[in-house]
Chain A
Amino acid sequence: MEKVFEPKVVAFACENSACLAAEHAVSLSRRYPERVEIIKIPCSGRVDVIFVLKALEKADGVMVLACQKDNCKFLSGNVRAAKRVGQARKLLSEIGIKEERVQIIYLAANMGHKFADSVQNYYDFIRELGPNPGKVT
């Protein structure tokens, strides 16, 4: 029997919104895939391009979970995060990796359902996409 592909996804989560949304999802008894690894960061603006690339050496997809637009506690953190995701996507497409393997998603702390939905959707999307060819083994 053929083994079903279960992707690995890294989620960089802003501690002011997405981390709280993850807790909220748990309190709502919403489940999200176990193979999504949440890495807590002080602000989505802390995400560096190198983190995304490094994560893709082992994982199949990377999510950057930022605060809603115009609602960043640090004013421009989510704007900078979006820029860096764009930069990472450019580098990925240059080396022939689908840029959709990096995604930015905007959340607020009270969006437990949206958190669970968007993580699940992205996970399913990456499963459709198949394993990341750029993995370093």
Chain B
Amino acid sequence: MKSNQKVLIIGGGLAGIETALQLARPGFEVTVAEKERQLGGRFRHINTVAGMETSPRDYIAEKINHLASNPSVNIMVNTVPVEVRGLIGRFEVALKQDGKEFCQKYGAIVLATGFSNNIVNFPQEGILSLVQMEEMLGKGYDFSGKSISIVLDSETGNSDLLSKLAIKNALLLKKKYRGEVNVFYKNIKVSGDNWEKLYVDTREAGVRFFRIVDQLEVEECNGKMRISFRDSFISGMYLVESDFVVLPDEIESTVFNNALGSLLQLNLKYDLFSGKDTPYLDSGITSRNGIFMVGSCRWPCLTNEIICSAGAAAHEIARQLGDETLLDVSDQPQVDPLKCTVCLTCYRCCPHKAITIEHDDIIDNIYHSAARMDPLACRRCGLCVAECPAKAINMPGNKDEQILARLDALEV
């Protein structure tokens, strides 16, 4: 049985578009479902991408054009998934477009829904968040002659996205708008190609960096924002006045923190976003085969990282859907229907949701039902084999008898 070769991509931002393009190249049929009216996502609103000459708007417009002209890509806007059933190779997804629900079949699903930053409505006008400032710059707001203070005091896992955003815009504000720019930081992380240089350039351009120890305080004073802080190098309290104060955003994954994760029955106990990432999940794979996460919904990403993760996921999808040797059942756990009591223990404990309960008259037990491990969804860990209370599951190569025989033959 060849699996369904269609792929559903949820989210039409850069991550979704790039994954679609990479998948369409070897001939996969791709559907991009975007919840908004047009594609582009967060990329439409940003001002610059470090190291890129073209404007992000032109860049994403070109990508969208490529996508729209590709005959194997189907773009659906105003569309959200409402229900997902089935396993890799045969997902059934109920999609809702403009209030109408319909069902489609896919072989794999890619989540490319990005991150969400909780927009806090700050009481004063002079306070912005880092992402808000990027969007204001993108809209062409004139910061000429304004003094700006950027504060980096929160930590979103180990992500360096906010540090990079701060550095990039500090340099831009200094060079383009010639204002006075201060950066208050507890920790700055700018790893990656050319970022260290950008940081040095920013310092050389005259942006002032202050390393702060305690919480700093911001208050309004005669139309200006006054920041009082304790410097860690020259001890003592200091005051800095500026027109704008820019605070870091609180960034959250759109998969881990809303219904999408439970809709897809993902194992959310291992929250990648908090920094405890698992190297096994590098190619965008999740707890379930056939469901992938690309771009900032996995981890706050910049443009080049998004493109890399899209490529890695596309490669892994092609491997999981295209390789028929993966359908080999000879090394996967198998159920002896005579012993299976349909207790659902394996169904519940499977970390990859690879087990289904089959009902058929030819199944030779009194329930005419038994558990079944799907060869594509199963990752051959053997958890269910050890867990089965009826000992109805066995795994070729790692059978109970084989391991017990080995223990029997132990030389003392």
Tell whether B175 is near chain A: CB-to-CB under 8 Å: no
Q: Which of B278, B279, B383 has the most CB of A within 10 A?
A: B383
> Which of A10, A45, A59, A75 is within 8 Å of B386, CB to CB?
A45
Q: Is the CB of B270 within 8 A of A45?
A: no
Could you say which residues of chain A place their CB within 8 Å of the CB of B406?
Answer: 39
- Which of the residues B276, B278, B287, B404 comes within 8 Å of A51, measured between beta carbons? B404
Place the interface of chain B in its size category: 20 to 34
Q: Quick one: given A8-B410, A50-B404, A55-B407, are A42 and B270 in contact (CB under 8 Å)?
A: no
> Contacts A10-B410, A47-B386 hold; do A77 and B278 have CB atoms under 8 A apart?
no
Complex CA distance for A84 and B352, rounded to whole angstroms: 20
User: CA separation between A48 and B410, bound complex, in Å?
Assistant: 17
Within B331-352, which residues are at the interface with A (CB < 8 Å)? 349, 351-352
Query: Among A22-30, A66-74, A90-98, A99-107, which stretch is in contact with chain B?
Result: A66-74
In the assembled complex, the Cα of A10 lies from the Cα of B380 at a distance in Å of: 23
The binding surface of chain B is classed by DSSP as: loop
Whether a CB of chain A sits under 8 angstroms from the CB of B382 is yes
A70 to B279, CA, bound (A): 11
Q: Tell me whether A43 is interfacial, beta carbon within 8 Å.
A: yes
Q: Is the CB of A76 within 8 A of B412?
A: no
Q: Does B269 contact A (CB under 8 A)?
A: yes
Q: Are A48 and B400 in contact (CB under 8 A)?
A: yes
- Is A127 on the interface with B (CB-CB < 8 A)? no
A74: contacting residue among B269, B383, B385, B408, CB under 8 A? B383
Given the known inter-chain contacts A37-B410, A73-B280, A74-B351, please indicate yes or no for A80 contacting B383, CB distance below 8 A. yes
Give Cα distance in the complex from A39 to B405, angstroms.
12
Is B387 an interface residue when CB atoms closer than 8 A count as contact? yes
* CA distance in complex: A46, B393 (Å): 12
Which of B114-129 touch A at CB < 8 Å? Answer: none
Task: Select which of A42, A50, A55 is within 8 A of B380 by beta carbon.
Answer: A42
Q: Is B205 an interface residue (CB 8 A)?
A: no
Known: A41-B398, A46-B386. A70 touches B270 (CB 8 A): yes
A75/B351 in contact, CB under 8 A: yes
Q: How far is the CB of B182 from chain A (nearest CB, A)?
A: 38
Q: Mark B279-321, 1 if CB is under 8 A from A, else 0.
A: 1100000010000000000000000000000000000000000
How large, as a class, is the contact surface on chain A?
Answer: 20 to 34
Contacts of B280 in A (CB 8 A): 71, 73
Of the residues B269, B398, B410, contact of A42 by C-beta under 8 Å: B398
Judged by a CB distance under 8 angstroms, whether B267 is at the interface is: yes
Q: Closest chain A residue to B400 by CB distance? A: A48
User: Are A54 and B407 interface neighbours, CB within 8 A?
Assistant: yes
Contact with A along B357-372 (1 / 0, CB 8 A): 0000000000000000
Contact B410 A45 (CB under 8 A): no
Question: Which A11-67 residues have C-beta < 8 A from chain B?
Answer: 37, 39, 41-43, 45-48, 50-51, 54-55, 57-59
> What residues of B have a CB within 8 angstroms of the CB of A10 in the complex?
407, 410
Query: Can you offer 6 A-B residue contacts whose CB atoms are under 8 A?
Result: A39-B407, A42-B395, A55-B407, A71-B280, A75-B269, A80-B349
Chain A interfacial positions (CB closer than 8 Å to B): 8, 10, 37, 39, 41-43, 45-48, 50-51, 54-55, 57-59, 70-77, 80, 84
